[in-house]
Amino acid sequence: MAVIDLANPTRFLALVNRVLPWLVAATALVFAIGLYRAAYAPDDYQQGATVKIMFLHVPAAWLGMMGWVIMSAAALGTLVWRHPLADVAGKAVAPIGAAFTLICLITGALWGRPTWGTYWVWDARLTSVLILFLLYLGVMALYWTAEEPGRGARAAAILTLVGAVNIPIIKFSVDWWNTLHQPASVLRLGGATIDASILVPLLIMAGAFTLLFITLHLAAMRNEILRRRVRSMRLMQAQTMAEARS
């Protein structure tokens, strides 16, 4: 089935309904394996058991950023190709990306308390994730303000692309400003600096989070399509009632 066939919401809904149970099962399975492996991963020699927060923190951070990438792709789909599902995808992904970013911030604060001695420091990494979260809230606010779904989607698409240009600049400028967070240690040139006993559960958890993200995104897109149908049915009903009365 080509992407163009999915432009028909009914076909897309049929596909989602077929795929979603399998995705839910796969998510649960990979989460079970990942959490088991994470629970039995060795403690860090300095940080003790608190290092296990990492298994939630790092995948949430990755997916929080991936959410904006998906939103930018959807924005291009809305503005360039006018793909009817692109604005549904973009609208559905914003709260999910915001939620993952918030998980990253909260777990980071809980991890920072025992290791750094404080819940929050104005460090570069933390600050740029916080700004990413604020940008997500801005996009969501834009969707809330729009009276009509299509118009809001195009405005949000433009804001998303402006944000996509700006996020690397913000990241760079905040790095210049102040840094305390450890540098990248998994995805870097020359291989990971984490021992395999921790790296493997981390990657399984990242896979589980990705599956969860995809599952939630597809479900949210389905709900959004249904919500729009309900809206247009209500409008039609109101119109017929108004005509009947006059």
Partner 1 sequence: MTAFTALLLRDIRLSLRIGGGALMGALFFLIVVTLMPFAIGPDLNLLARIGPAILWLGALLASLLALDRLFAMDQDDGSLDLLMMGRMPLELAVLAKALAHWITTGLPLVIVAPVLGLMLNVELRAMGWVTLTLLAGTPALTFIGLVGAALSVALRRGGLLLPVLILPLTVPVLIFGVAAANAAIVGPAPFGPPFTILCALSLASLVLGPIAAAAALRHGLE
Which spans of this chain sit near partner 1 (rule: CB under 8 A)?
Answer: 79, 131, 134-135, 137-138, 141-142, 145-147, 151-152, 154-155, 158-159, 161-163, 165-166, 169-170, 172-174, 176-177
Nearer to partner 1, 51 or 88 (CB): 88
Helix H, strand E, coil C: the string for 46-115 is: CCEHHHHHHHHHHHHHHHHHHHHHHHHHHHHHHHHHCCCCHHHHHHHHHHHHHHHHHHHHHHHHHHHHHH
- In 3D space, the residue among 158, 157, 187, 169 whose CA is nearest the CA of residue 132 turns out to be 169
Instruction: Report, in Å, the least distance between residue 54 CB and partner 1.
Output: 27
For the chain, the maximum distance between any two Cα atoms, rounded to a whole number of angstroms, is 79
**Closer residue to partner 1 in complex, CB, 87/224:** 87
Q: Least distance to partner 1 from the beta carbon of 217, Å?
A: 23
The values of phi and psi at residue 143, to 5°, are: -65, -40
Structure tokens at 14: 């049929």
Q: In angstroms, what is the minimal distance from the CB of 171 to partner 1?
A: 9
**By C-beta, is 3 or 158 nearer to partner 1?**
158
Task: Tell me the C-alpha distance between 218 and 60, whole Å.
Answer: 18
Residue 116 or 143: the one with the smaller Cβ distance to partner 1 is 143
Closest separation in Å from C-beta 128 to partner 1: 9
